[in-house]
Structure 1
Amino acid sequence: MAINLYIVRHGETYFNFLHRFQGWSDAPLTPKGIQHGLDAGTRLANIHFDGAYSSDLTRSVHTARYILKNNQANSGIEPTELPDFREQFFGSFEGVDSEVVTTTLGAYKPNSLNTYSDFITEFGMAEAMDTIYLADPFKFAEDDEQWWTRVSHGFDDIRARHHDGDNVLIVSHGTTIRGIADKLGRHDFASNSVKNGALMRIELLPSTATILNFNDDTTVF
């Protein structure tokens, strides 16, 4: 049983443009972000989707609708909201400038780091998530275990809803997509920021998964 997952990062939001940590905060898409969704839809226009899903955050829901607007393969579906595919919750760091967050996280490590991607490259996604939780004074933020428990449940949900050969669209978020890549053994992929509207294609099996494309914003399928 192999389900073909097309996991797309949502289009650019105003928080993305302003370089702020977004998490569960819900900034709207910019005009460029709307175009990201439409462009992703053009690249996926010939894929008949047997299911379409997004996280329940508005930027993902809207991006999924823009993708499906350009679908030419008679998919004929509206995206279903699945909260399991939300972004990591950043707690007290929600809405904070990314440089400030990186500086704060750097206080918990011996090396000074210039960007959040540097942190991930040096220590890995799990350590990055756990450090965000550790640095949050109110402990609202999700740690790696909490985040992966819900995302794993999301994959099990997809397995229960679909059959061998189904094509499934999921619109999710940058850190979540990088975290999935890391959990699937591709730390090299996770070290790269995911572009808005870019795609990760996964072959989802009953107990394993393989990444076939990552951070892909050029391939026409």
Structure 2
Amino acid sequence: MTEKGWQNARDVGEKLKNIKFDAAFCSDLPRAEQTAVEILNHNRFAKLKKPTVSPFFREEFYGYFEGTDMNQAWYVAGAPHGVATFKAIVEKYSIGQAKDFLKAADPFHHAENNQEYWKRMDQGLELIKQTKTIHDGSKVLLVSHGNTLLSLVERFGAGKFDVTQRPANGSLTKLAVNDHQIQVVSFNQ
């Protein structure tokens, strides 16, 4: 993680230091786990020292485009559909459609499409719901990635939030979750 990334994690830890978390989850990518541990280290109430780490909360898998300039990747994915940027794809279509376009543009078709992405992510959401330490009124920390956050907000935000702009690193988004629904309460705070 960069020094800026560590500073973002410390800043978020300070913002959340007075929230008693009943559980914590994160992506299995090192920067997400390091961020979650740093947040928990700042927490005054958490008995938790480590999050539950799971690949379910990973960023979208970009296949052939992993590690490349994503502006170029989104151009390759969107240009055949008359849109040349991620923002333009999302404005005209959706984040889900952007995933489908990227998989179609991947010469090996290894990138996750929308259905594959949500099959994985839904397993993560179910993991949270089935955790025995979580009950009505529980507070749960989830550390993931920008496009994962955008995907959650697009799906559960009821169109109330701008998903054409990436959330700031270290920003906070609040979800209300029960057995029947997930609702975005606030985004990119």
- Scaled by the length of structure 2, the TM-score of the pair is 0.93
Partner of residue 135 from structure 2, selected from 157, 160, 163: 163
Q: Kindly indicate whether the alpha-carbon contact (under 8 Å) linking 1:51 and 1:77 is maintained by their aligned counterparts in 2.
A: no
Which position in structure 2 is the counterpart of 1:152?
Answer: 122
Which position in structure 2 is the counterpart of 1:40?
Answer: 12
Q: How many residues align?
A: 186
> What whole-Å deviation, never above 9, does each CA across 1:161-217 have from its counterpart, x for those lacking one?
12111111010011111111111133733222111111111010102111111011x
Q: Kindly indicate whether the alpha-carbon contact (under 8 Å) linking 2:23 and 2:48 is maintained by their aligned counterparts in 1.
A: no
- Structure that is richer in helix per residue: 2
Distance 1:214 1:125 in 2: 16
> What whole-Å deviation, never above 9, does each CA across 1:126-153 have from its counterpart, x for those lacking one?
1100001000010110000010111111
1:62 deviates by: 0.6
Which position in structure 2 is the counterpart of 1:110?
Answer: 82
Which position in structure 2 is the counterpart of 1:70?
Answer: 42
Distance 2:116 2:74 in 1: 21
1:157 deviates by: 1.2
Which position in structure 1 is the counterpart of 2:161?
Answer: 188
Deviation larger for 135-144 or 152-161: 152-161
Unaligned runs of 5+ in 1: 1-28, 217-221
Unaligned runs of 5+ in 2: none
1:82 deviates by: 1.6
Which amino acid in the other structure matches residue 137 of structure 2? G
Q: Kindly indicate whether the alpha-carbon contact (under 8 Å) linking 1:124 and 1:187 is maintained by their aligned counterparts in 2.
A: no
Q: Kindly indicate whether the alpha-carbon contact (under 8 Å) linking 2:19 and 2:139 is maintained by their aligned counterparts in 1.
A: yes
Q: 1:44-59 alignment to 2 at 5 Å?
A: 44-59=16-31
Partner of residue 179 from structure 2, selected from 177, 181, 206: 206
Percent sequence identity over matched residues?
34
Distance 1:89 1:74 in 2: 32
Distance 1:154 1:193 in 2: 22
Structure having greater relative contact order (Cα 8 Å, sep ≥ 6): 1
Is the partner of 2:25 in helix, strand or coil? strand
Distance 1:104 1:126 in 2: 16
Which amino acid in the other structure matches residue 3 of structure 2? P
Is the partner of 2:173 in helix, strand or coil? strand
Q: Kindly indicate whether the alpha-carbon contact (under 8 Å) linking 1:117 and 1:193 is maintained by their aligned counterparts in 2.
A: no
Partner of residue 58 from structure 2, selected from 80, 83, 86: 86
